[in-house]
Amino acid sequence: MTDATRQTLLGSLPTSFDTGPEWLRALRGRAAEALREQGLPTKRTEAWRFTPVRSVVSAEFSRDDRGVPSLASSLPEGVTARSLRQVLQAEPELLEGRLDLGGAPTHFAALNTALFSDGLWIDVPAGTIVERPIELTHAIPTSSDSSVVYPRVLITLGDNAELTLIETYAGTEVGPLTNSVVEVDLSCNARMSHARIHENAGLQVGRVDVRQDTDSTYRSTVVTLGGALLRFDVRCMLQGKGAECQLDGAYLVEGDDHVDHHTTVEHQASHCRSAQTYRGIVSGKGTAVFDGLVVVHRDAQKTEAHQENRNLLLSETATVHTKPHLEIDADDVICSHGVTVGALDEDQLFYLRARGIPEDLAHSMLTYAFLESIVDRVSHEPTRARMREALLARMPHREEIRGVT
Partner 1 sequence: MLKIENLHVEVDGKPILKGIDLEVGVGQVHALMGPNGSGKSTLSYVLAGRDGYDVTKGRVLYKGKDLLEMAPELRAAEGLFLGFQYPVAIPGVSNIYFLKAALNAIRAHRGEEPLDAIDFMKLSKEKAALVELPDELTKRAVNDGFSGGEKKRNEIFQMAILEPSLAVLDETDSGLDIDALKVVAKGVNAMRSPERSMLVITHYQRLLDHIVPDVVHVLIDGRIVRSGDKDLAKQLEEKGYSEVRDAPQL
CA angle 80, 85, 88 (to 5 degrees): 85
Q: Which is nearer to partner 1, 299 or 351 (CB)?
A: 351
CA distance 221 to 249: 5
For position 139 contacting partner 1 by CB under 8 A, the verdict is no
Are residues 120 and 84 in contact, defined by beta-carbon separation less than 8 angstroms? yes
Please report whether residue 356 would count as binding partner 1 according to CB under 8 A. Answer: yes
What are the residues whose beta carbons fall under 8 Å from the beta carbon of 57, sequence distance 6 or more? 8, 9, 10, 39, 40, 41, 42
Give the residue with the Cβ less far from partner 1, 332 or 359. 359
Q: How far is the CB of 339 from partner 1 (least distance, A)?
A: 18
Under the binding rule (CB under 8 A), the answer on residue 338 touching partner 1 is no
> Per-residue x/- mask for partner 1, residues 58 to 97, rule CB under 8 A?
----------------------------------------
Judged by CB under 8 A, the stretch of 78-86, 101-109, 116-124, 368-376 that binds partner 1 is 368-376
Provide the 8-state DSSP code for 364: H
The single residue among 47, 79, 335, 352 that binds partner 1, judged by CB under 8 A, is: 352
In total, the chain counts a number of residues equal to: 405
Residue 242 or 249 with smaller CB distance to partner 1: 249
Q: 61 CB contacts (<8 Å, ≥6 apart)? A: 6, 7, 8, 9, 12, 146, 147, 148, 177
208 is an interface residue for partner 1 by CB under 8 A? no
The verdict on 375 binding partner 1 (CB under 8 A) reads: no
User: CA dist 160 to 51, 73, 130, 155, 362, Å?
Assistant: 38, 23, 11, 14, 45
- Pattern 279-318, partner 1, x by CB under 8 A: ----------------------------------------
Residue 344 in contact with partner 1, rule: CB under 8 A: no
In terms of C-beta density within 10 A (0-12 exposed, 13-18 middle, 19 or more buried), how is residue 286 classed? Answer: buried
Cα dihedral value 109, 46, 257, 261, nearest 10: -60
Q: Identify which of residues 53 and 362 has a Cβ nearer to partner 1 in the complex.
A: 362
Nearer to partner 1, 276 or 364 (CB): 364
**How far, in Å, are 31, 67, 153, 163 from residue 121 at the CA level?**
21, 15, 6, 14
The C-alpha atoms of residue 312 and residue 280 are separated, in whole angstroms, by 6
Report the half-sphere exposure of 316 (CA within 13 A, side-chain side): 0
User: According to the binding rule CB under 8 A, does residue 366 interact with partner 1?
Assistant: yes
Count of residues near partner 1 by CB under 8 A: 26
Question: Is position 350 an interface residue for partner 1 (rule: CB under 8 A)?
Answer: yes
Tell me if 10 contacts partner 1 by CB under 8 A: no
φ, ψ of residue 62 in degrees (nearest 5): -115, 140
Interacting stretch for partner 1, rule CB under 8 A, among 85-93, 254-262, 355-363, 379-387? 355-363
Binding site for partner 1 (CB under 8 A): 345-348, 350-359, 361-362, 365-366, 369-370, 372-373, 400, 403-405
